[in-house]
Amino acid sequence: MTMHFGVTLPQIKRPWSDTRGTAEELDRLGFHSVWFNDHLYGVPMPNLPILEAWTALTAVGALTDRVELGTLVTPVGFRNPALLAKMAATLDVITNGRVIVGLGSGWFESEFTGYGMPFPPLKDRLEQLEETATILKLLWTEAQPSFGGKHYRLDATYCDPKPVRRPPILIGGGGEKVLLRLAAKHADIWNNLAVHQNDLGRKVEKLHEHCAAVGRDPAEIRISQQCLVVIGENEADAQAKSAKAAAIYGGHMGAGGPLSIMGTAEQVIEKIEAHRALGCTMLVMEFFGRDVREPARLFAEQVLPKLS
């Protein structure tokens, strides 16, 4: 399977002009996908301005021609799953089949309660995740499905027009007992969190164990890694940027460790190949730099041609 390179777009405390310009440039440069996180409060501080993911993703879809469009990830408690299915199908029609729906259980309790939404215990949120994945697939593929679950139900529900393609479902998270089992049953893509980047090999093994248990061919699930990418024009530039990134991010975005993607173009390629050796064929990258377009151009010029 060929490598897929996605890039997160400027979204927090950034003007729309930065987001728009970056999306258009990434589309032009040949990256495969662009992504928003789906938070209602800024991360890590709730008072930081942040663009709402699905609204912004729709605008980006209208501005681009080729890149796929994804959320990393949508907490299932934010939106009724039938409504989410309708939203994703509409955007997929508008963009001629470019939507990837990323799902997660949610973790930022204050944004749920601040917006007046319930934040049930993790067990319930994981049950909601499984029911949401089921409902999405039903509404995208069947004429008028019904569904009765513990948390959600459908009653002969229409979702027309259908998406151009059945959008891939990405499930993000690293819980080895339940989350990875849900990914084994329902995901087209499983995304490993940046904070667990250096545990990628073990997480993949656990995912494959769950695949065996539920009777799923693990080859049907693309392995994705959320990651920080620091790329320098030369050794000195790479070292200076890497030191700055490590000070800012710490381990939150996977900065540091054997799989950390930092260095010159040649070193970045080596680290990406180390991910591929563990079964990972998709990266959702956050480029380090105030203007994301600068490292993206360097990556497109010196890395993409050697890994495409």
Over residues 238-261, the mean pLDDT reads 82
For residue 274, pLDDT over 80 is answered with yes
Q: Is 206 contained in some domain?
A: no
What are phi and psi for residue 194, nearest 5 degrees?
-60, -40
For residue 222, pLDDT over 80 is answered with yes
Question: In the structure, what pLDDT confidence band is assigned to residue 251 with cuts at 50, 70 and 90?
Answer: low
Residue written as token pair 């320098």: 232
Q: Is 266 contained in some domain?
A: no
Is residue 126 a contact partner of residue 178, using CB atoms and an 8 Å limit? yes
Cα torsion for 41, 47, 49, 54, to the nearest 10°? 10
Structure tokens at 20: 């728009």
CATH number at residue 167: 3.20.20.30
Measured over all CA atoms, what is the biggest interatomic distance in the chain, rounded to whole angstroms? 62
Over the stretch 195-219, which tens digit does the pLDDT of each residue have? 999 999 999 999 999 999 999 999 9
Over residues 227-233, the mean pLDDT reads 96
Q: Is 83 contained in some domain?
A: yes
Number of alpha carbons in the 13 Å side-chain half-sphere of residue 27: 17
Query: For strand 189-192 and strand 33-36, is the pairing parallel, antiparallel, or unpaired?
Result: unpaired
Q: What is the pTM for the complete model shown?
A: 0.96
For residue 180, pLDDT over 90 is answered with yes
Q: Is 193 contained in some domain?
A: no
Over the stretch 44-87, which tens digit does the pLDDT of each residue have? 899 999 999 999 999 999 999 999 999 999 999 999 999 999 99
Q: Is 304 contained in some domain?
A: no
Question: In the structure, what pLDDT confidence band is assigned to residue 247 with cuts at 50, 70 and 90?
Answer: confident
**CA 18 → CA 31, 54, 292, distances in Å?**
17, 17, 9
Mean pLDDT for all residues in the chain? 96
Q: Is 226 contained in some domain?
A: no
**CA 38 → CA 50, 54, 66, 102, 155, distances in Å?**
10, 8, 22, 9, 28
What are phi and psi for residue 228, nearest 5 degrees?
-85, 135
pLDDT of residue 147: 98
Q: How many domains does the chain have?
A: 1
Q: Is 119 contained in some domain?
A: yes
For residue 252, pLDDT over 90 is answered with no
Structure tokens at 156: 């002969």
What are phi and psi for residue 165, nearest 5 degrees?
-130, 160
Percent of the chain with pLDDT over 70: 98
pLDDT of residue 255: 59
Query: What's the distance, CA 102 to chain centroid?
Result: 6
More confident residue, 155 or 254: 155
pLDDT of residue 197: 95
Over residues 131-143, the mean pLDDT reads 98
For residue 253, pLDDT over 70 is answered with no
Q: Is 139 contained in some domain?
A: yes
Q: Which domain holds residue 154?
A: 4-172
Q: Within 10 Å of residue 297's Cβ, how many Cβ atoms?
A: 16
